[in-house]
Amino acid sequence: MALPNTLVKVWNRNTYDFRQVFKDDEIKIPAGKHIEMDYFEAVDFLGKFHSIVMRKDGTQDPRSYKKLEIDKDDLKRYIDERDGQAKDEDEISKSSWKCPVCTKDFKTQKGLLSHIKANHQDAMVDKEARDELSDREDI
């Protein structure tokens, strides 16, 4: 699940301004400055190939270096938010094994099925599912 509106700073660590066309827009980041972008856009932008410019002596012109990075504090904040969201999803999944008849919570699907087989199998409307549950020996 994506985190909505997670803006991060993209820093230009070069001593020259950086320019690149990205998704039909020209992106310009002044030397030593940053711009703000959505996290996923920033990752995509950093991963796009940027043409290098060669000097007459055969070495790369330092103005064409792509010395960009996502702000470390913003990256840490994004990871913490993402991990917090994952923990919330884990909590939801733990309570998702709820008996539809008596609403008792179970930690595993197998526990729920064992409970249904022992207590509510006769209440099952779907005959095929009831027979399948009855035939399972692992529960």
Query: DSSP labels for 4-52?
Result: TT-EEEEEE-SSS-EEEEETTEEEEE-TT-EEEEEHHHHHHHHHS----
What pLDDT score was predicted for residue 131? 86
Which residues neighbour 15 within 8 Å (Cβ) at sequence distance 6 or greater? 31, 32, 62
What pLDDT score was predicted for residue 107? 82
What pLDDT score was predicted for residue 134? 87
What pLDDT score was predicted for residue 1? 45
pLDDT in tens, the chain (139 residues): 445 568 999 999 999 999 999 999 999 999 999 999 999 999 999 999 888 899 999 999 999 899 999 999 999 988 888 877 655 555 555 557 888 888 888 888 888 888 988 998 888 888 888 888 888 888 8
Please answer whether residues 38 and 30 qualify as being in contact, where contact means their C-beta atoms are separated by less than 8 angstroms: no
**pTM tops 0.75:** no
User: What separation, in Å, do the N-terminal and C-terminal C-alpha atoms of the chain show?
Assistant: 33
Distance of alpha carbon 3 from alpha carbon 113, whole angstroms:
34
What pLDDT score was predicted for residue 22? 93
